[in-house]
Structure 1
Amino acid sequence: MKTLYSILYVTLNTTLNERVSIGVLMSNGFEHYFKYSHEKLTAFKNILDSERYNVVKNYLKSLEREIGFNLEDSNQLFRKRELRNDWINEGYITYLAKYSNNIIQFSTPKYIDIDLNSDNFKRVFEKYIFKYAEETDEIIEFNVHSKVKQDLFPKIESRVNIEMTLTSNDFENLFAPIDIDFIGINGIPVAGQTIDFEKKHYYLENDVTRFVSLTKAIELEGNNKGKYYVLGREPQKNVDKNYLLWEHIRDSDFLEFVDIDEVGIVEEYIEKHNVRPYFD
């Protein structure tokens, strides 16, 4: 059976036609496979300005949501068995390749005489995009807090208080002790908490409620609105309540959600605004 494929590129310089492959889409007309390189996307953060980077990131994530369901982790292989994405065809992808001037571009679709399956998809991905990240026990046992502790804490520990247990001795309106990842101040309070959105909903809801209670206690102390980060990873859509809670936080004007692979956003804010430890 012939399989159609198209390479997705990120345009770095339009004038010089500089572009880098970021993902691949394959289809046999009934199944669609899509994957992008999370490693390359992370590298682009140091190359593209923040607006262009966010366009790339959001577009790739929208393809994830539209094309299929998750087989591994949030940036691994996606496939779809029902032909609901009728735009995935030779004619329309050819149109995108010719006429799209976006920062993300599709290559002209080509056919290869192979069956569409996970092994063949992996071979195409590694040929055109990047090394294919296999699912391992380490990924299965992935801990969001450990990653934040490793990637973020060493870069901000001189500017904030790290991993503190706060009580009513610290904030009068805090009615129960809470462990906080970091807290600082720069005229307004700045705090962040890592939250695992894959937890059972009861425990997840409790974690979020406790953090929100802390932010209210902080603001009652000084009557200043603060900058509050929730660090985590988008949960699986099949965990409906968790996903809905994540969406509320992501769209909130009160809390700012930051993916744990993009903690540089927090580091940049803390440095740019000269944040200092909240407690001596």
Structure 2
Amino acid sequence: MRTIYSILYVNLNAALNERVSIGLLVSNGSKNYFKFSSDKLLALKGILSDERYRLIKSYLKSIEKDLGKAAADANKLISERDFKNDWINERYLGYLSKYSNNIIQFSEPKVIDINLEDNTFKRIFEKYIFKYAEETNIAPAFNVHAIVKKKLFPKIAERVNIEKTLTSTDFENLFAPIDIDFIGVNGIPVAGQTIDFEKQHYFLENDVARFVSLTKAIELEDNSRGKYFVLGREPQKKTNKNHLLWEQIRDTEFLEFVDVDEVGIIEEYIQKNNVKPFFE
């Protein structure tokens, strides 16, 4: 069976043709494999703008999601011959290699004489991309607050109040005490709260409601709109209620969601806008 592969590159400098391999797509017409190196992408973060990094990550994730859904659909069919991703073929990949945008560049698809299986894909990936990191169905345990505390707090500690307990003494319309991750001011109030979207839904709703109540109490006190960040990570989609709440927060204009791997966005905002501690 004819097997083709295409390497995906991140363009660093189109004029000088500087690029870094980031992902691999392999297909034999009935089986499709795709993987990108999260470790390599993270290593590039320091030399990419935040916007470009997010676009690249989103683009790679969209391919991963597309193939993952297609593979699940294929499992429902009678035979693999009845299934294919219409865009994964030699002709279209050749087109992408010539006309794809500046974010990700596909290499010209090449034919390789192999029996396409998990192990052969792994060998090709390690040859052209990076060390193969095994994926598991169990998400690794992590503490979102610990990540934020390590990555962000040391960089903003002089400009905001960190891990402060607020009460009605601080804001008259705050009816219950709340522990806030950080709070500052730059003409308008600026605050951020880490939220674990993998929590049981009842407790998640409570955390969100308490933070929203705080923002309202702050704005009633100062009679001005503020800048409010929610730090966290997208929950697994099997937790439908949690994921729906995450989507609502991500899409609202009132709050700005920031992934815990991208807390540099907050650091940049605080420095650029000369934020100072809210409380002396």
TM-score (normalised: structure 2):
0.87
Alignment of 1:1-280 (within 5 A): 3-68=3-68, 82=74, 83=83, 85-134=85-134, 140-280=140-280
Over residues 195-241 of structure 1, what are the superposed CA-to-partner deviations in whole Å (9 max), with x where a residue is unaligned?
A: 12222222222211111111111111101111111111122222222
Write the distance in 1 (CA, Å) between the matches of 2:149 and 2:232.
12
Q: Report which stretch shifted further, 251-260 or 33-42.
A: 33-42
Larger Cα Rg: Structure 1 or Structure 2?
Answer: 2
RMSD: 2.3
Deviation at 1:112, TM superposition (A): 3.1
Write the distance in 2 (CA, Å) between the matches of 1:100 and 1:37.
20
Deviation at 1:66, TM superposition (A): 2.0
Q: 1:216 to 1:271 in 2, by over 3 A?
A: same
Q: Please tell me whether the aligned partners of residues 201 and 241 of structure 1 are also in contact (alpha carbons under 8 angstroms).
A: yes
Q: Please tell me whether the aligned partners of residues 33 and 80 of structure 1 are also in contact (alpha carbons under 8 angstroms).
A: no
Give 1:40's aligned amino acid: K
Over residues 44-63 of structure 1, what are the superposed CA-to-partner deviations in whole Å (9 max), with x where a residue is unaligned?
A: 33323344333323212322
Q: 1:142 to 1:29 in 2, by over 3 A?
A: farther
Over residues 164-207 of structure 1, what are the superposed CA-to-partner deviations in whole Å (9 max), with x where a residue is unaligned?
A: 22221221111122121111111111111111222222222221
Write the distance in 1 (CA, Å) between the matches of 2:64 and 2:202.
27
Write the distance in 1 (CA, Å) between the matches of 2:102 and 2:72.
25
Write the distance in 2 (CA, Å) between the matches of 1:209 and 1:167.
16
Q: How many aligned residue pairs are there?
A: 271
Write the distance in 2 (CA, Å) between the matches of 1:89 and 1:222.
59
Q: Please tell me whether the aligned partners of residues 24 and 36 of structure 2 are also in contact (alpha carbons under 8 angstroms).
A: yes
Q: Report which stretch shifted further, 248-257 or 44-53.
A: 44-53
Q: 1:8 to 1:178 in 2, by over 3 A?
A: same
Write the distance in 2 (CA, Å) between the matches of 1:270 and 1:230.
15
Q: What secondary structure is seen at the aligned counterpart in 2 of 1:40?
A: helix
Q: What secondary structure is seen at the aligned counterpart in 1 of 2:5?
A: strand
Deviation at 1:2, TM superposition (A): 5.0
Counterpart for residue 79 of structure 2: none
Q: Report which stretch shifted further, 23-32 or 113-122.
A: 113-122
Q: Please tell me whether the aligned partners of residues 184 and 276 of structure 1 are also in contact (alpha carbons under 8 angstroms).
A: yes
Q: What secondary structure is seen at the aligned counterpart in 2 of 1:202?
A: helix
Q: What secondary structure is seen at the aligned counterpart in 1 of 2:258?
A: strand
Q: What secondary structure is seen at the aligned counterpart in 2 of 1:170?
A: coil
Write the distance in 2 (CA, Å) between the matches of 1:215 and 1:84.
49
Q: Please tell me whether the aligned partners of residues 229 and 258 of structure 1 are also in contact (alpha carbons under 8 angstroms).
A: yes
Q: Report which stretch shifted further, 148-157 or 51-60.
A: 51-60
Q: Report which stretch shifted further, 85-94 or 8-17.
A: 85-94
Write the distance in 2 (CA, Å) between the matches of 1:142 and 1:28.
37
Q: 1:177 to 1:30 in 2, by over 3 A?
A: farther
Q: Report which stretch shifted further, 15-24 or 99-108.
A: 99-108
Q: Please tell me whether the aligned partners of residues 32 and 80 of structure 1 are also in contact (alpha carbons under 8 angstroms).
A: no
Deviation at 1:79, TM superposition (A): 6.0
Q: Please tell me whether the aligned partners of residues 161 and 183 of structure 2 are also in contact (alpha carbons under 8 angstroms).
A: yes
Deviation at 1:110, TM superposition (A): 2.4
Unaligned 5+ runs, structure 1: 70-77
Percent of aligned pairs with the same amino acid: 70
Write the distance in 2 (CA, Å) between the matches of 1:56 and 1:117.
27
Give 2:10's aligned amino acid: V
